[in-house]
Structure 1
Amino acid sequence: MKKTGIITILNVNNYGAELQAFALHHKLKKMGYDNEIINYLYYKNPLYKSEVKSSPLIKTSFKNKLKDLAIKWIDKYSAYRYPEIAKKRKERFFNFHKEHTALSITYKSYSDLYSAKHEYDNYIVGSDQVWNPNNGTNLEPYFLTFAPKKANKIAFASSFGVGDINESYFPKYKEWLNNLTHIGTRETSGVTLIKKITGRNVAHVVDPTLLLTKKDWESLMVPYKHEKPYILLFIFKKNRYAEELAYKIQKKTGFKIIRVCKNEMPLESDDKILNIRDFGPLEFLGLYSSASVVLTTSFHGSVFSLIFEKPFYTITPASKNNNSRQESLMKVVGLENRLLREGDTINLEKLTDIDFEYVKEKLGEQINFSIDYLKKSLK
């Protein structure tokens, strides 16, 4: 049987990254395609070995270097201060892939990946922000330049993570993009950008997490046991606007507030919010499935709100214009009013006014198109 190798972002202690990587692998398996994830460590993984060849296209600013360093030290400090939480979370993430995902040997560096002999019939670069010019690493692996020259090379839902790129980088991106046989990107802005860079018309496909149904995800999840309805707060860092909105919804509904967050997230000093920091991907799904309302700053937080049919709001920074991922998704399902900028006022009387039958219809069209794209692209 022919075999497919997938490269994407995973093993980064992030719910969205791990679940999107699993989803494409699992969907291809359900479609009858033998496949595995090429386990190339992302540069943020603590075991990744940085080298000259893995230097990023755009030099990382001192501010961003300082930010990355601070996050690493906060994470280490949190693990030291709360060792049981850190251990349990790490185990759950590790066991998720051990039990549910087929992985290749681990490639810890750029050189490891490029010196290996790869013998797949198809190569896929998967979803997430693999083409983001601001990533602090060489993006070449995510354009499949390590694959044999004549191999079938496919991009599925690969994302730039930004709406535009400085034109001085167009020549390099053109070279990389033209290495791909088939291109399907996750955002409409990505379709426009690739056309601008290469002249190629490419497919607009869904994030891999949408290739699996609500029933598929429910069959995997660890149910969350609870007695009272709750508002789920899924945010990456402290966000005053999101917290205040959660409190307003709590006052209206009487629901409690649960925040699911990463290990380095500090605990609240009061008891108004229950912080859960040790859940793995399957526990995360169970938490989503039972939520009554969701507030999120995450793209995948929006996706799982749609999959599990939860009233939600996605919150984006007022000062940034890199919200193309969320904007593209909300436009597809006609829920632009669910995308908030920090500071926006909302009418909570319309909190639950989402026509999920319409959402399923619009998503269904794009999901079917995306599956058809995969079938046509794969040998």
Structure 2
Amino acid sequence: MNTSQMKKIGIITILNVNNYGAELQAFALHHKLKLMGFDNEIINYLYYKNPNYKSEAASQPLIKTSIKNRLKDLALKWLDKYSAFKYPEIAKIRKQRFDGFHEKHTAVSKTYHSYSELYNSTLGYDTYIVGSDQVWNPNNGTNIAPYFLTFAPKEANKVSYASSFGVGSIDGTYYDQYRKWINNLKHISTRESDGVNIIKDITGKDALHVVDPTLLLSKEDWQNIMIPYEHSEPYILFFIFKKNKYAEDLAYRIQKNTGYKIIRVCKNEMPLESDDKIINIRDYGPAEFLGLYNSASIVLTTSFHGSIFSLIFEKPFYTITPASKNNNSRQESLMNVVGLQERLLREGDEVNLNKLTDIDFEIVKSKLDKQINISVEFLKKSLN
């Protein structure tokens, strides 16, 4: 791609947060547009959780962050710092692999470290896209106006692709603000059916339910960029963010039945337990992560993108959601599309392991393909 020419499309999304799902969804929309023949790059506006983001008065969140969430963010930052200090080699390799992935595969603009830096810049794109992920979540600890493209010139084409509220409903108090923001967009699509309903309630407009950008790329597209995982025996891939006894017990039951080893790919660099029955991989980047998925025999995950990559790579899987939360709308929405509601477990659910591998991926693929075609048509219509 000729980077000396001004790119025509600028995408804003969540990027550079040391998280497999976020990096891969950002790359996927960029890459799909490239395959469709569109010049595009990601506008590198740092997410508020990035350690280099500069918070300002203008970037204060719509809803004041609760003390609990502020403490949680602070604890995670310190945990990252502590783990980088305690395991410098792991942290260094992981960072190199994440950075290297985007350097190799993703066209990214200069970095915007703050709200004012973004809003004071002259950006020359014809079309602006707000990408997927929970960019519209009212509980984000930052001003989410940039994710409604309010920084873009008035006359520019403004598109939302698979943007997510991350919640099932929005408090009526915030309808006015959300209405202004949503009305700034010309073409609107969202990642969950709940999102379609929220937009209808707030604005009266019909948004389109589209697939997460990671599903716009085929299994072969992903295999082309993965780094294969060298292994000699089958394994259960355990993609779980924090300690989860129910998930671990289920993994051990499957291990007992199959004799497979368990490999955990961790988001955090800290070992999560000193269990020699689970192999912890803590320094993988996105390309290595894809290689692990491609060769897995079975997947257990708590992650939304963990579910998606199980579908893409056609792996028997279970997705585990907390018993305490009713807010699993994105997982439920995805499973409804593919007709695999029984693969979504709540902690404590009984599991019949005799049905572990009973997924007809031909049926899944035909259901997904319908949704993917609708999504690609939406992009074509919005961009031409």
TM-score by length of 2: 0.98
Residues 271 and 280 of structure 2 are in contact (CA less than 8 Å); yes or no, is this contact kept in structure 1? no
Partner of 2:372: 367
Kindly indicate whether residue 298 of structure 2 is the aligned counterpart of residue 298 of structure 1. no
State how far apart, in whole Å, the 1-side matches of 2:194 and 2:242 are.
26
Kindly indicate whether residue 245 of structure 2 is the aligned counterpart of residue 240 of structure 1. yes
Instruction: Write the deviation string for residues 132-151 of structure 1: whole angstroms up to 9, x where unpaired.
Output: 01110000000000000111
State how far apart, in whole Å, the 1-side matches of 2:186 and 2:240 are.
36
- Superposed displacement of residue 208, structure 1: 0.3
Of 63, 74, 80, 2:79 maps to 74
- Superposed displacement of residue 321, structure 1: 1.3
Partner of 1:356: 361
Structure 1: segments with no counterpart, 5+ residues: none
Q: Secondary structure at the match of 2:224?
A: helix
Kindly indicate whether residue 228 of structure 2 is the aligned counterpart of residue 202 of structure 1. no
Q: Secondary structure at the match of 2:11?
A: strand
Of 42, 57, 77, 2:47 maps to 42
TM-score by length of 1: 0.99
Residues 37 and 102 of structure 1 are in contact (CA less than 8 Å); yes or no, is this contact kept in structure 2? yes
Alignment of 1:104-119 (within 5 A): 104-119=109-124
State how far apart, in whole Å, the 1-side matches of 2:178 and 2:103 are.
34
State how far apart, in whole Å, the 2-side matches of 1:14 and 1:158 are.
17
Kindly indicate whether residue 230 of structure 2 is the aligned counterpart of residue 219 of structure 1. no
Kindly indicate whether residue 191 of structure 2 is the aligned counterpart of residue 150 of structure 1. no
- Superposed displacement of residue 263, structure 1: 3.0
State how far apart, in whole Å, the 2-side matches of 1:343 and 1:322 are.
17
Partner of 1:272: 277
Q: Secondary structure at the match of 1:43?
A: coil
Residues 94 and 283 of structure 2 are in contact (CA less than 8 Å); yes or no, is this contact kept in structure 1? yes
Of 327, 334, 345, 2:350 maps to 345
Partner of 1:186: 191
Q: Secondary structure at the match of 2:41?
A: strand
Structure 2: segments with no counterpart, 5+ residues: none
- Superposed displacement of residue 177, structure 1: 0.3
Residues 237 and 265 of structure 1 are in contact (CA less than 8 Å); yes or no, is this contact kept in structure 2? no
Residues 238 and 299 of structure 2 are in contact (CA less than 8 Å); yes or no, is this contact kept in structure 1? yes
Q: Secondary structure at the match of 1:306?
A: helix
Q: Secondary structure at the match of 1:118?
A: coil
State how far apart, in whole Å, the 1-side matches of 2:166 and 2:251 are.
27
- Paired-residue identity, %: 75
Instruction: Write the deviation string for residues 51-83 of structure 1: whole angstroms up to 9, x where unpaired.
Output: 110000000011111111111111111111110
Which runs of structure 1 show a deviation greater than 3 angstroms over 4 or more consecutive aligned residues? none
Kindly indicate whether residue 255 of structure 2 is the aligned counterpart of residue 250 of structure 1. yes
Matching residue's letter, 1:298: S
Matching residue's letter, 1:375: K
Instruction: Write the deviation string for residues 190-213 of structure 1: whole angstroms up to 9, x where unpaired.
Output: 001100110001111000000000
Alignment of 1:121-160 (within 5 A): 121-160=126-165
- Superposed displacement of residue 267, structure 1: 3.8
Q: Secondary structure at the match of 2:262?
A: strand
Q: Secondary structure at the match of 1:45?
A: coil
Q: Secondary structure at the match of 2:58?
A: helix
